[in-house]
Amino acid sequence: MTLGFSRSPSSGYGKPVAIKKSDHNLTNIEDKVCLDLDALMNFYEDVPDGIILDTAYADSRPGEEFDPAVPVIVGVHDTPGSHSELESILRTFAKVGCRTIAPTFPGHGNTQGLMRGFDDVFTHSTLERAMFLQDFLDTLGIEKVDLMIGVGAGCYPTLRLCAGVESSNMYRSMALISPWPLKRPRYEAHSDLLQSILYLWDRPFFRGPAKLLLPAYKVGSVRTVREKVTSAYLLGNLDLAEASSLAFTAVTLNLPRLLIFGGLDPEVEPELYLDYAHQLEIPPENIRAFKGKLEAPALPGALSFSDAGYNLHLEHPGIISAYLMHLVQLFRPHIRF
């Protein structure tokens, strides 16, 4: 499967919606891009002429060409979620001169197909999402990423890019915030119901009965039909064995890496996060608990918030940004708060 983006010549950048009128603050942009999917057995239909998507993303330096002297930070959002949930973390990096980018995946509300049926061709597998990100960055002309930040389900494609044979040279470091586990699905208790929903939803004639099952499908903050269907596909297409092997590959590549997790996550017990740290070969002595004062991390390292839950990127964005700045400074020592 190949995914390629080409900019729609008539669309340009669309109409930007600025958070602040500054070159170095995050800006929301809607941009039309063309997504080419080769026909594969595991996809719903052949789309030989490509797919036109209205893609929403945040970029602190919209329209600028890639500058090797400017650090690039890319954020990968959770499911459900969007690029807007990463703005509080990324804005800190933008203020100190970094270029920060965060696209929204298809099927998450902001990024939508421009023609009927375009939103139904995505399986939301890790490979598909990673290739979406890679080709999106290629479209923007990004040649090197100093730091990839994955949140929740976004940690799977983040791992895939940072440890992938075909893409690892592009990504210099990685941070995973509240990653979904490597040993079991995050919402394992709903696995049987999830499979029933997917079976029915893949057959449009039965989508009515599928909607009757959706109220019983309670997953995290998922509320709408779209969010439930997207999360169901994502969970149904997880390959945890691949994710574990990618964690191992990240270790063999000696990729600078940090893990951040909370001790009160309602769906993932601390032992699973510690197992994640073990698979990333983070020594136990490098796992620090935040106690009001932030210390420079030992790499590879991990930071735990014993009294916090899952949405750490929303609850402690300033602390997390300061912690992750140490990864950027490995390659850009001049960057300071």
102 and 219 assigned to the same domain: no
HSE-up of 229 (CA within 13 Å, CB side)?
22
Tokens representing 157 are 């494609």
Predicted pLDDT of residue 1: 27
259 and 121 assigned to the same domain: yes
Predicted pLDDT of residue 53: 66
User: 111 has which bridge partners?
Assistant: 106
Predicted pLDDT of residue 114: 56
Average pLDDT over residues 185-207: 81
47 and 133 assigned to the same domain: yes
The better pLDDT of the pair 323, 189 is held by: 323
147 and 211 assigned to the same domain: no
110 and 170 assigned to the same domain: yes
Predicted pLDDT of residue 102: 96
The domain boundary residue, chosen from 206, 233, 260? 233
Residue 41 belongs to domain spanning = 3-185+238-331
Say what percent of the chain tops pLDDT 70: 80
63 and 176 assigned to the same domain: yes
As a 3-state breakdown, the chain gives helix, strand, coil percent values, each rounded to 5, of: 40, 20, 40
Tokens representing 27 are 């800006």
Predicted pLDDT of residue 148: 98
Question: Does the pLDDT of residue 34 top 50, yes or no?
Answer: no
Q: Is residue 337 part of a domain?
A: no
Predicted pLDDT of residue 50: 65
* DSSP state string for 196-224: HHHHHHTSGGGHHHHHHHGGG---TT--S
Tell me the three state secondary structure of residue 110: coil
22 and 120 assigned to the same domain: yes
| pLDDT band for position 203 (cuts 50, 70, 90) | confident
Lowest mean pLDDT among 7-16, 86-95, 206-215, 253-262: 7-16
Q: Is residue 336 part of a domain?
A: no
Question: Does the pLDDT of residue 86 top 70, yes or no?
Answer: yes
The domain boundary residue, chosen from 205, 233, 261? 233
131 and 18 assigned to the same domain: yes
Predicted pLDDT of residue 229: 84
Tell me the pairing of strands 3-7 and 72-76.
unpaired
Radius of gyration of the chain (CA): 19
Question: Does the pLDDT of residue 62 top 50, yes or no?
Answer: yes
CATH number, domain containing residue 295: 3.40.50.1820
Distance between CA atoms of residues 58 and 99, nearest Å: 10
Question: Does the pLDDT of residue 9 top 50, yes or no?
Answer: no
Average pLDDT over residues 177-190: 88
Q: Which amino acid is present at 181?
A: P
Check residue 37 and report its DSSP letter: E
> What are the distances in angstroms from CA 147 to CA 170, 276, 328?
10, 19, 6
Q: Is residue 119 part of a domain?
A: yes
Average pLDDT over residues 128-151: 94
The runs of H, that is alpha helices, within 19-125 are 87-95
On whether the pTM is more than 0.75, the answer is: yes
Distance between CA atoms of residues 232 and 266, nearest Å: 19
Asked if 247 contacts 261 with a C-beta cutoff of 8 angstroms, the reply is no
Average pLDDT over residues 6-10: 28
The domain boundary residue, chosen from 175, 204, 233? 233
Distance between CA atoms of residues 215 and 225, nearest Å: 9
Helices 126-139 and 155-163, packing angle to 10 deg: 70
Question: Does the pLDDT of residue 146 top 90, yes or no?
Answer: yes
> What are the distances in angstroms from CA 171 to CA 162, 207, 225?
6, 40, 35
Q: Is residue 90 part of a domain?
A: yes
Highest mean pLDDT among 125-134, 195-204, 227-236, 239-248: 239-248
Q: Is residue 169 part of a domain?
A: yes
* Counted domains in the chain: 2
Asked if 250 contacts 163 with a C-beta cutoff of 8 angstroms, the reply is yes
Q: Is residue 288 part of a domain?
A: yes
Question: Does the pLDDT of residue 115 top 60, yes or no?
Answer: no
Q: Is residue 212 part of a domain?
A: yes
Asked if 161 contacts 129 with a C-beta cutoff of 8 angstroms, the reply is no
Q: Is residue 127 part of a domain?
A: yes
| pLDDT band for position 112 (cuts 50, 70, 90) | low
Average pLDDT over residues 311-317: 93
181 and 193 assigned to the same domain: no
Sign of CA pseudo-dihedral 203, 204, 209, 211:
positive
116 and 21 assigned to the same domain: yes
The better pLDDT of the pair 245, 80 is held by: 245
179 and 196 assigned to the same domain: no
User: What does pLDDT average to over the chain?
Assistant: 82
Tokens representing 151 are 């949140």
Burial of 10: CB neighbours in 10 Å, binned 0-12, 13-18, 19+: exposed
46 and 98 assigned to the same domain: yes
Distance between CA atoms of residues 223 and 211, nearest Å: 13
